[in-house]
A and B are shown apart, each in its own frame.
Chain A
Amino acid sequence: MPRPPSPSIPEKEFVYGALKQSLRIDGRAMLEMRTPTLTFGPELGWVECSLGKTRVLAQVDGKMVKPPPERPLEGLISIHSELSSMAANEFEPGRASDQEVTITRMLDKVLRRSDAVDKESLCVLAGQRVWHIRLTLHVLADAGNMLDCACLAGIVALKHFRRPEVEVVGDEITVHHPSERAPVPLSLHHTPYCLTFAFFPDSHAGTPPVLDPAHLEETLAAGLLSVALNAQRELCVVQKAGGVPLPPATVMDIVDVAVQRARELDALVERALREDWAGRDVEVR
């Protein structure tokens, strides 16, 4: 389906006018994020994350494969995400629109290239058997800011997943079923969270940036700045691909806001994971 219709002039003027007075359409504060809701599935590694009406489903599974010869000591991680027509009408499977390319590349950078998962811990038998962890993301609904939702769902799923325990004796590998031995969590170096800020025309004249844009705000934005960082104040990815030019001081302010939000998100995620784990029965008798 071709481009969706652009927002009407009254919509545009209303949104810009409201933003000048620091009012958002859905009543949030300028730098307030929608509270993410995490729902864990019956299987380990199945998470549905929703930011308001934006919903993304993430699922992790692992299998053992032979590693490529140039990297015999590391496991493999692959991320598969496709925006189907379920997310919004304009996405078609098979044809990568600009937005889809951006989201897929950002997910790749935040979850894979930032080295969140310790790949060396995925090695079972050097040169012969390593774990191949596959993360699949489905965007179920798009109400703005699919990227942040998808990154959050992905990283929580990786934290939630437990792989079967493996015993190696000499050259023999025994994979223990989860009912025999408790499965083992993935070893993560750090937990990156992605935060997207939207900017509007004449940002220097007083329209402040907005965190976690809704669909209309995203369409009307003149520029987007995505910052992925972990709770230890390390930036993983910073992406401002064009859009309205910003003074460097504004960029640094945004980064400081992101640092704070990342800490809050981290606390929220840890709490959710703890609650879910307490409700599960993973003891081995």
Chain B
Amino acid sequence: MSSRVEILNDGGFRSDGRKQYELRDITIDLSQQGTADGSATITHGLTQVMVTVFGPREAKMRSQTLHDRAVLNVEINVAPFSTGERRKRSRADRRILELAAAIESTFEPVVQTSLYPRSQIDIYVHVLQQDGGLLQAAVNATTLALVTAGVPLLDFVCAVSGGVHAAAPLLDLTTLEENDVPNLTVAVMPRTRAVTLLTMETRLHVDRFRALFELACEAGQTVHKEMKRAVRGRTVALVGAMDAGGPKHASSGDPDRDVIMDDR
């Protein structure tokens, strides 16, 4: 099918009305899901991914534990209704296994696993809606879920996808753009600006790659701001709830106090 839809028109607008470097709307929901220790749902435009984290807890299979560290176990479940056409994916689908392996190896050096020897941290990724940027959404949601679970991390991991159309770099691609344009996904750790994950599966010239890569690393900082805002909002709400139940004279309106001390 030829692309009758223009990826980037003369006015600088893309097929969904965004500008060249504009990211899609990000919605973050950190409310608790069931009995999970941590959970997060992130929406990039129309792509929605929910991640639940259980752990650190006792490992199901003793043979797979490590004596000095925790083991990360990632399972991905792509809902059959997530794409335009309803399609059931088998669990052993190579693409899904690769995605799970990528997430596991991305978070392995970021989670402070040496604090929990002989235990397991289970990360369950549920893909609810797909419209491009699946790896990006999965990585971002996993970071947030780990944060809400209270698992100690070295830093956030913020992922962005990007592509190049006729020498113009684009950020945060939809499915339409992903199918048409060479694209890559980058995940950065914002404090040190180091790159943890980088995947590209389409042909792209080295010079174009350089420009896109640097741009995507910068975009990671923007995603980080959103994630930090959501986490801070949730923490303030939680602390506020704790304060509201305490004695009146102790709640001096200071939201950063996490211990209510009895002055008497």
Q: Please list the residues of chain A having a beta carbon within 8 angstroms of any beta carbon in chain B.
A: 2, 96, 98, 101-102, 104-105, 108-109, 113-115, 190, 222-223, 225, 229, 233-248, 251-252, 255-256, 259
Contact = CB atoms under 8 A, between A and B. Distances in A.
Contact of B105 (A104, A237, A243, A252): A243
A132 B115 CA distance: 53
Contacts of A251: 195, 198, 213
B193 interface: yes
A165 B173 CA distance: 43
Contact of A105 (B94, B184, B202, B210): B94
Nearest to A230: B203
8 pairs of A and B residues whose beta carbons are closest in the complex = A242-B105, A245-B194, A242-B106, A240-B198, A238-B200, A241-B102, A245-B196, A105-B98
Nearest to B108: A242
Contact of A237 (B98, B189, B200): B200
B107 interface: yes
B98 A235 contact: no
Contacts of A252: 210, 213
A233 B105 CA distance: 28
A255 B206 contact: yes
Contacts of B214: 248
Nearest to B109: A244
Interface string B180-209: 000010000100111111111111111101
B98 A102 contact: yes
Interface in B144-190: 184, 189
B238 interface: no
Interface of B: 63, 92, 94-95, 97-98, 101-110, 184, 189, 192-207, 209-210, 213-214, 217
A245 B101 contact: no
A245 B194 CA distance: 5
12 contacts: A105-B95, A105-B98, A108-B94, A114-B202, A114-B203, A233-B205, A234-B203, A238-B200, A239-B200, A240-B198, A241-B102, A248-B195
Interface class of chain A by DSSP:
mixed
Contacts of B63: 2
Contacts of B189: 245
Contacts of A242: 102-109, 196-197
A234 B205 contact: yes
B206 A234 contact: yes
A246 B186 CA distance: 12
A115 B203 contact: yes
Given A241-B106, A242-B197, A235 B101 contact: no
B88 to A, nearest CB: 19
A248 B201 contact: no
Contact of A238 (B104, B106, B198, B207): B198
A255 B210 CA distance: 9
Contacts of A243: 105, 108-109, 196
A234 B109 contact: no
B204 A102 contact: no
Given A236-B203, A246-B194, A248-B195, A255 B107 contact: no
Contact of A241 (B92, B105, B209): B105
Given A234-B206, A245-B194, A252-B213, A96 B200 contact: no
Tell which of A225, A234, A255 has the most Cβ of chain B within 10 Å. A234
A91 to B, nearest CB: 16
A274 to B, nearest CB: 26
Contacts of B201: 109, 113-114, 237
Contacts of A248: 193, 195, 213-214, 217
Nearest to A108: B94
Nearest to A255: B206
A178 to B, nearest CB: 33
Nearest to A101: B97
Which of A229, A236, A238 has the most C-beta atoms of chain B within 10 angstroms of its own C-beta? A238
A246 B188 CA distance: 9
A115 B199 CA distance: 17
Given A105-B98, A244-B109, A248-B193, 12 more contacts: A104-B94, A105-B95, A229-B206, A238-B199, A241-B197, A243-B109, A245-B196, A247-B194, A248-B213, A251-B198, A251-B213, A259-B206
A101 B105 CA distance: 14
A165 B198 CA distance: 42
Contacts of A96: 92, 94, 97
A249 to B, nearest CB: 10
